[in-house]
């Protein structure tokens, strides 16, 4: 099978590509615009594989997207390309509307035209897998509540609203045109190669430098944390075994308040960096003004994917967060290149 992965140079996309190349015989075409969050250094282990190809393409460029379909003749699409940082969506929503809504529309249309031209066997086997977020559901009030696949949409930010829109488009293309689609909505991901503006890598790197560790408001916001490699396994399972037209929620079964996550990181850094002049790192925690419209609690009911497809996370929060901190400590040069922008000046791989 040949799979196009959009946004394959991003955090989750690169994990998906590494999983496919490591653990299957399939081929991958990485279609990525290489915005600030796209980093081909996250794919250094696969660039030499004959089953990996890279196309520097914007999903909003219909002609180029159509060319990639025509030249590579994929059997499936895993659509992860998206603007995804909530704070950035508040400061500048236009880029999120363009990439997440218009880009998804253009990709759907290119996929539909390509799919219509396939022979009956390949047409029946084709899949369009759209990867989304639990943020489309808004937030939860009661402590026993969980997001299910039928929870009504109530997005709170420009980012989550744009992702909700893209979800609706994908389902409409299934209903109206018969395009064989699948949708997944995941909880907060963490793990290796996460862009340093996100909470966990930001806290790790700030702590190592003795900088303030910013926590929005009281830090009581609750998130369900999912190790990115567990997520990659789940996505591949849905692509290959999921039922067309279905939605699957993917969660880590690890609800934690943001302040709990930050304190856990500080404790791990105290243990793993005994010579740090900034110990105890928890003294660096700084509470800052809360984000506008900040959702209080997300929590995923992932029983459907476990029941129907046999997937469940392998990592607990304790095991996954330790692996994550250890990875960052081993890969400070990767972090430095992201922070100083040199990763954008020296791209690995070349378009084909």
Where in the sequence numbering do the catalytic residues fall? Answer: 134-135, 159
- Least Cα distance to 38 among 349, 352, 272 occurs for 349
CB atoms closer than 10 angstroms to residue 143? 9
In terms of Cα–Cα distance, which of 27, 21, 222, 11 is closest to 131?
A: 11
Cα(12)–Cα(232) distance, rounded to whole angstroms?
7
Q: How many CB atoms lie within 10 A of CB 85?
A: 15
CA atoms within 13 A on the CB side of 85: 16
> CB 312: neighbour CB atoms within 10 A?
15
Residue 185 tokens read as 């909505």
| 40 within 8 A of 19, measured Cβ to Cβ | no
Name the 3-class secondary structure at 222: strand
What Cα–Cα distance (Å) separates residue 80 from each residue in 77, 293, 320? 9, 25, 22
């Amino acid at each position: 099978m040949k799979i196009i992965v959009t946004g394959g140079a991003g955090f989750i996309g690169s994990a998906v590509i590494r999983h496919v190349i490591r653990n299957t015989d399939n081929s991958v075409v990485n279609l990525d615009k290489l915005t600030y969050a796209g980093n081909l250094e996250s794919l250094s282990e696969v660039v030499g594989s004959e089953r990996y190809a890279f196309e520097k393409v914007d999903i909003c460029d219909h002609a180029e997207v159509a060319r990639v379909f025509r030249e590579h003749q994929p059997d499936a699409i895993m659509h992860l390309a998206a603007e995804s940082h909530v704070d950035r969506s508040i400061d500048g929503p236009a880029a999120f509307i363009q990439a997440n809504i218009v880009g998804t529309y253009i990709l759907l249309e290119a996929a539909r035209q390509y799919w219509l031209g396939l022979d009956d066997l390949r047409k029946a086997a084709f899949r369009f897998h759209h990867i989304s977020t639990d943020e489309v559901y808004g937030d939860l009030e009661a402590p026993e509540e969980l997001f299910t696949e039928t929870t009504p949409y109530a997005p709170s930010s420009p980012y989550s609203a744009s992702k909700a829109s893209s979800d609706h488009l994908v389902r409409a293309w299934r209903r109206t045109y018969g395009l064989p689609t699948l949708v997944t909505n995941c909880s907060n991901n963490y793990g290796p190669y996460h862009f340093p503006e996100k909470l966990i890598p930001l806290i790790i790197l700030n702590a190592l430098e003795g900088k303030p560790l910013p926590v929005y408001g009281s830090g009581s916001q609750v998130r369900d944390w999912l190790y990115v490699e567990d997520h990659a396994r789940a996505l591949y399972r849905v692509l290959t075994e999921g039922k067309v037209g279905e939605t699957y929620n993917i969660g880590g079964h690890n609800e934690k308040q943001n302040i709990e996550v930050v304190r856990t990181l500080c404790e791990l850094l105290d243990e793993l960096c005994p010579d740090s002049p900034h110990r105890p790192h928890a003294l660096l925690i700084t509470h800052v003004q809360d984000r506008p419209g900040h959702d209080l609690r997300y929590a995923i009911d992932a029983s459907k994917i476990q029941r129907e497809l046999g997937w469940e996370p392998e990592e607990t929060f304790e095991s996954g967060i330790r692996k994550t901190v250890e990875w960052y400590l081993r890969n400070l040069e990767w972090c430095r290149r992201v922070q100083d922008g040199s990763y954008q000046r020296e791209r690995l791989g070349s378009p084909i």
